[in-house]
Amino acid sequence: MKIGFHTDAFNSSYWNFEKCLQWAQQNEVPFIECGLIDGVSWIHGLGYQPHVAMHEDPVLLRRKMENYGVRFSQVDAAYPLSGKDGPLYGVPYILRALQWSKLAGCDRIATTDGLEKPPGLSDAEAMALMRRSYEQIVEVAEAYEIIINIEVHGYFTTNPDRVAEMLDFCDSPFFRLNMDTGNTFIAGQDPVAFLRGLVHKVSHVHVKDVSESLAAAVRGEETGIAVSQCALGQGVNADNIRQCLEILRDHNFTGVLSMECEGQGGPMIEQSLQWLRQTLGELNIPIENE
């Protein structure tokens, strides 16, 4: 398996994307994941946000990343597709992300639903809306040979039956699942059982622990969290992560394990990296850097 990280880890540190590349190089982490910005914002323009705007030239960025020995495992274009504005904003955003990602050398894009039940729509109506959106998106993704991942993050996607139904919207090798160990847990699900039923669809994994205090406060009431406020291995989800890694190993998963945790400017995510490398070693899972 491969190790990467989401630049969300450095949101609170107000790093820019290049500083994340420097961290990746220094810590020998060859894969990076970030959010895509469709437009401009002052905080990103001033260099205080660790994500990438699509007005940045993707070929020049790819060359810069190659100089650091880092490449994309996935980019995040996860505007919620389950609400009434999903077709209006989410679909064009993802379609532009496909064009940009092809030139940037990125072969996976994360998408998702909203955190809560969409207002003004029944569940059946929202599912039908998402079906039409994904049919349009996946048709283009096949042409670009880029995988569209459904990330486990919201009202529908943290329900294993619903996400299985969503994955049947399109019969395509370019339509897969981004498993998230933390979001499944915080939603009140068993991450191990969740993964076991859908492991054949997984192409990318967010590895996320959950602090004891956060679990006590919101487990079963929230469907997703941006990042965990504890290092991997230091929360109440650590054993579940270990079991998920065993399931992935036994199903010959060779993709990227993308760490999602608060970085604290480096120390916390470095602790996470140490734990993940050690755990993979204990489970006899080789770490690949290509």
User: Is residue 154 classed as helix, strand or coil in its secondary structure?
Assistant: coil
pLDDT of 220 reads 94
Residues 33, 255 contacting (CB under 8 angstroms): no
> Is position 36 within any domain?
yes
* pLDDT single digits (tens) 238-260: 999 999 999 999 999 999 999 99
> Is position 270 within any domain?
yes
* pLDDT single digits (tens) 98-120: 999 999 999 999 999 999 999 99
pLDDT of 290 reads 76
> Is position 289 within any domain?
no
> Is position 103 within any domain?
yes
Write out the residue range of the structural domain in which residue 17 sits: 2-282
The vertex-8 CA angle with 153 and 246, nearest 5°, equals 60
Pull the structure tokens for residue 106. Answer: 């990125």
Cβ neighbours for 146, distance < 8 A, ≥ 6 positions apart: 98, 101, 102, 106, 107, 108, 109, 174
The strand pairing partners of 177, in sequence order, are: 150, 202
Give the whole-angstrom CA distance, residue 163 versus residue 111: 12
* pLDDT single digits (tens) 136-150: 999 999 999 999 999
User: In the predicted model, is pLDDT for residue 167 greater than 90?
Assistant: yes
User: Rounded to two decimals, what is the model's pTM?
Assistant: 0.97
> Is position 288 within any domain?
no
Any idea what DSSP says for residue 200?
G
Overall number of domains in the chain: 1
pLDDT of 234 reads 96
> Is position 68 within any domain?
yes
Q: What is the signed CA dihedral for 183, 187, 190, 191, rounded to 10 degrees?
A: -10
Give the whole-angstrom CA distance, residue 106 versus residue 39: 19
> Is position 29 within any domain?
yes
Beta strand extents in 55-183 (DSSP E only): 71-76, 108-111, 147-151, 175-180
Domain of residue 198, CATH code = 3.20.20.150
- Classify each residue of 106-118 as buried b or exposed e, where b means 16 or more C-beta atoms within 10 Å of its C-beta: bbbbbbbbbbebb
pLDDT of 227 reads 79
> Is position 287 within any domain?
no
Helix crossing, 191-198 with 160-167: angle to 10°? 20
* pLDDT single digits (tens) 260-279: 999 999 999 999 999 999 99
Pull the structure tokens for residue 67. Answer: 């100089």
User: Is residue 73 classed as helix, strand or coil in its secondary structure?
Assistant: strand
